[in-house]
A = this chain, B = another copy of it.
Amino acid sequence: MNASSTFNFPNLAPVRRTSHANPQPIPKPLIAASSSVPEPGSDPPARKIKGSPQLARWSRARAIRSGRKLDRAGQRTQFLEPNPPLHPSDGVSLDPHDSTSSGSDGSDDDAEMTAGKSIYMVSDGTGWTVEHSVNAALGQFEHCLVDRGCAVNTHLFSGIDDVERLMEIVKQAAKEGAMLVYTLADPSMADSARQACTHWGIPTTDMLGPITEGIATHLGVLPSGLPRGAPGRSFPLTDEYFRRIEAIEFSIKQDDGALPQNLHKADIVLAGVSRTGKTPLSIYLAQKGYKVANVPIVFGVQLPKTLFEVDPEKVFGLTINPLVLQTVRTARAKTLGFSEGMKSNYSEMVHVRQELEFARRILAQNPVWPVIEVTGKAIEETAAVVLRLYHDRKHKCSMPRISKRY
């Protein structure tokens, strides 16, 4: 289905479709993007922006290293001329609330959002995959995101399962000069997205298409082409669904040393002093289907006997840098509204060191328990270490791995 023949965009002048013929498509949008509203059809001004020549070098180097011809670089991710920003005077009124939200609702985020570049994420399902992948890719730009040097606004559109709504979003993306990333199971929807983006000169990436094609070939089976949660689809992975619910409920009940008599029922037991992230880590692992119990180590308080009776291979110690711990605890004490007296005991350096030393001794007495340093690690990073060790111990592979059967 050709989207551009079905939908009529009377007032949006599409960019000239000359980009494919351009022998160096990558650096071009960089320059064009930095210029303010270029004349449509004119060559982008030769103004240089910070990082642009470097990026061009990097992109070209990567293309050459990966054996792609440069004029094919646009095949994986389409690098086209960004559409010049459009004004309401162009007669485009896609959004009846637009003026309200960015006008009178000045307190709204929307006004602030206009400062950065936009990434539109479109999915026919929940959209968590595209969101997760874009977040992971944005991790590659943290060096400039942190100080807002290259501010980015992401917009997730989930449950987009008809082509009309898809086209509304593409038009809105063109208007805003946004990039569009999509996961669309229906091949005709994916094609419409791609074609419309080409038509409007929107840079675009198909997140799941390549991997789905790859798996189809590997398995010798056709993909269903149906978004997750589509009516008429069998309920996905029922066993895993119930396993996750059970794991979450278990982990909540076992949080913070509750019910030590149930430690033997846990898949994983975490032990560490307060503010080593035991709770969020437990919950993260529970979401993945593991029953997790966590046991706090408190200076001078005896640990539950059962902790030393369970399989030591499932116990993990968490440790943290004393200075970082003290900072986190001071912040925490403020949040909890501790009195000065209580606060000092909980967050003062002497006590912090004493408690960490107490924990260190306990962990040292149980050498089978791996000790994981959590300082500066995100929850996911600590979780990855725990699960790698957990599966490695369970399956005794040469290379630590997490294996699953579907």
* Residue in B113, B190, B246 whose CB lies within 8 Å of A403: B113
Taking a contact as CB atoms under 8 Å apart, the answer to whether B279 and A248 are in contact is yes
Q: Which parts of A188-225 form the interface with B (CB within 8 Å)?
A: 188, 190-191, 194, 203-205, 207-225
- Closest CB-CB distance, A160 to chain B, in whole Å? 9
Which B residue sits closest to A213, measured CB to CB?
B77
Taking a contact as CB atoms under 8 Å apart, the answer to whether B218 and A119 are in contact is yes
Q: Does A362 contact B (CB under 8 A)?
A: no
- Closest CB-CB distance, A188 to chain B, in whole Å? 8
Taking a contact as CB atoms under 8 Å apart, the answer to whether A220 and B287 are in contact is no
- Closest CB-CB distance, A300 to chain B, in whole Å? 24
* Residue in B76, B119, B210, B406 whose CB lies within 8 Å of A138: B406
Taking a contact as CB atoms under 8 Å apart, the answer to whether A150 and B221 are in contact is yes
Q: A225-B140, A255-B252, A279-B249 are in contact. Are A133 and B406 (CB under 8 A)?
A: no
Q: Which parts of A301-327 form the interface with B (CB within 8 Å)?
A: none
A65 / chain B contacts, CB cutoff of 8 Å: 187-188, 191
Interface string of A32-60 (1 = CB under 8 A from B): 01100000000000000111101100110
Q: Does A87 contact B (CB under 8 A)?
A: no
**Stretch of A102-110, A260-268, A338-346 that contacts chain B:** A102-110
Q: What 16 additional pairs, Cβ within 8 angstroms, besides A141-B224, A153-B403? A: A26-B217, A30-B220, A52-B220, A55-B220, A58-B187, A65-B187, A79-B214, A127-B384, A131-B402, A137-B211, A141-B216, A141-B221, A142-B224, A157-B399, A205-B214, A241-B379
* Residue in B72, B191, B203 whose CB lies within 8 Å of A72: B72
Q: Does A14 contact B (CB under 8 A)?
A: no
What are 11 A-B pairs with beta-carbon distances under 8 A? A55-B216, A55-B217, A59-B216, A75-B76, A119-B215, A136-B228, A137-B215, A140-B224, A140-B226, A150-B220, A151-B406
Taking a contact as CB atoms under 8 Å apart, the answer to whether A77 and B137 are in contact is no
Taking a contact as CB atoms under 8 Å apart, the answer to whether B157 and A400 are in contact is yes
Taking a contact as CB atoms under 8 Å apart, the answer to whether A223 and B399 are in contact is no
Taking a contact as CB atoms under 8 Å apart, the answer to whether A221 and B105 are in contact is no
| Number of residues of chain A lying within 8 A (CB) of chain B | 154
Taking a contact as CB atoms under 8 Å apart, the answer to whether B77 and A210 are in contact is yes
The CA of A144 and the CA of B215, in the complex, are separated in Å by 13
Q: Does A88 contact B (CB under 8 A)?
A: no
Taking a contact as CB atoms under 8 Å apart, the answer to whether A398 and B96 are in contact is yes
Taking a contact as CB atoms under 8 Å apart, the answer to whether A245 and B402 are in contact is no
A212 / chain B contacts, CB cutoff of 8 Å: 137, 140
Taking a contact as CB atoms under 8 Å apart, the answer to whether A218 and B179 are in contact is yes
The CA of A228 and the CA of B145, in the complex, are separated in Å by 14
The CA of A143 and the CA of B235, in the complex, are separated in Å by 10
Q: A76-B75, A126-B384, A151-B406 are in contact. Are A143 and B224 (CB under 8 A)?
A: yes
Taking a contact as CB atoms under 8 Å apart, the answer to whether A395 and B109 are in contact is yes
The CA of A210 and the CA of B96, in the complex, are separated in Å by 35
* Residue in B26, B61, B221, B384 whose CB lies within 8 Å of A144: B221
Which B residue sits closest to A1, measured CB to CB?
B65
Taking a contact as CB atoms under 8 Å apart, the answer to whether A203 and B223 are in contact is no
